[in-house]
Structure 1
């Protein structure tokens, strides 16, 4: 199997609220929004928002209310950029789970949860490169 991720889908409780958070709050622009789903083109990958119940039905997995153990990361080029993204997310209605701080692996990171509880890490890893097109090179 080829080593890549093409699409990340987040199950959301209220699609309109989720769209407001990502579009008005974070400034993201949808690429496509057919009935019941919205897609955002990101560098090299896409993100979809889909009703949580519809997603559970589609994948035949019940909603059990537990943290899935999955986080999504937005890597940045500087500590100031990390702080700015966390502030923007908080202003848009995110819950800051961990304010940004220097971490044991030599970087700087913090976490927020979007209005549906999806956990995002915002990080600077000085050993990694954020390319001009926004893609990550490890």
Structure 2
């Protein structure tokens, strides 16, 4: 299983974004300090209030929520081009913004990237079965 922990400045605003993406909130692991969202059966994103997130850090580290520094781009795969576009539409409806416009960097790959309200980037991409070497 994969648990992605991200700092948040406003959990209510963050909840709106992740709900709009269609992820499932896990109330068991959500409270005033944390909001747990299941992306799949094996991937969960934990949004932690900035101060609570900081309590897990060591060596003088501090959470960054300035939207200017990136250490990671979270990437998910889609089953179709349409799913990429729908993901972007839902992200915008949930209070997110475009990080990178939809494009086709090479034939058979279609991608886009959005930011959640705290500036965390989520990429979404579809690759045709032919490009991936799978029978269609």
Shift of residue 97, structure 1, vs aligned partner: 1.6
Unaligned runs of 5+ residues in structure 2 are none
Unaligned runs of 5+ residues in structure 1 are 130-138
Partner of 1:52: 50
1:17 lines up with 2:19 in the alignment? no
Q: Contact 2:13–2:95 at 8 Å: present in 1 too?
A: no
Shift of residue 27, structure 1, vs aligned partner: 2.9
Shift of residue 58, structure 1, vs aligned partner: 1.8
Equivalents in 2 of 1:128, 1:16: separation in Å?
A: 42
1:21-49 Cα deviation digits (max 9, x unpaired): 212x2232211213411222323121111
TM-score (norm 1): 0.78
Equivalents in 2 of 1:128, 1:95: separation in Å?
A: 33
Q: Contact 2:53–2:63 at 8 Å: present in 1 too?
A: no
Partner of 2:23: 28
| Number of equivalent positions | 124
Assess, with a 3 A threshold, how the Cα gap between structure 1 residues 128 and 30 changes in structure 2: closer, same or farther: farther
Matches within 5 A, 1:52-131: 52-60=50-58, 61-64=61-64, 65=66, 66-104=68-106, 106-126=108-128, 127=132
SS of residue in 1 equivalent to 2:95:
coil
Shift of residue 50, structure 1, vs aligned partner: 0.4
Equivalents in 2 of 1:95, 1:35: separation in Å?
A: 25
Shift of residue 79, structure 1, vs aligned partner: 0.7
Structure with bigger RCO (C-alpha 8 Å, 6+ apart): 2
